Amino acid sequence: MKSYRVRITVAAGLAVAGLALSACGPVQAGAAAIVGKERISSSDLDAKVREFREDLAAHKLSEDQLQLGMSAPQVILYYTANARQYAELAQRKNISVPESEIDGYIAARGGQAKVDEMLLSGGIPRSMGRDTIRTVITQQKLMTQVAAGNDEQSMQAALVKVTQEAAAAVPVTFSPRYGKFDLQQGFVPDDRLGAVEAAPAQ
């Protein structure tokens, strides 16, 4: 079975790495995660999960068909935290991603409908699409700054540097309600807390 990071990246067609996320330290009550000093509330996450399920229903898809290997709340929480983390890092480094770049990214991948399909197949609500793409472009720009070359080995080394920098600059702490976060597998069950918490289906 493919690792969480590979599975998510292939499914969504987006190069977002999981190395920059961690699961240590306390989490505020009612929070699904803390990104830097910013709180992602459980209620906000639940709303995104409901929206995702509505998107799936509109496209006549089910979560079982996607074979994400993770629950919808876990996948959406991951991408929400990742987007906020890189948004803060980009601000600190004075990196901008204009809307025209996002439009170009979408056009290069067959248009909005095709991108929406990629997002849904990766467990991402359509409303999170532009933020997710902005995260990818931001990461690519950061990698270009630190890469020694354009070959695969250099880009992999740059990816490690960028994700480590993001983790140090904007740490992410997940609530254990959503499982333990493993760098290779993503969220895994936390035996101390039982089943992973999931948003109610509509």
pLDDT in tens, 109-125: 999 999 998 888 889 99
Q: What pTM did the predictor assign?
A: 0.79
From the candidate CATH numbers 3.40.640, 1.10.4030, 1.10.287, 3.10.450, the one assigned to the domain spanning 4-188: 1.10.4030
The pLDDT value given to residue 27: 54
Mean pLDDT of 70-92: 92
Domain ranges of the chain: 4-188
pLDDT in tens, 57-73: 998 888 888 877 788 99
Q: Is the predicted pLDDT of residue 80 greater than 50, yes or no?
A: yes
Residue type at position 124? I
- What is the reported pLDDT for 28? 57
Question: Distance between CA atoms of 137 and 105, rounded to whole angstroms?
Answer: 9
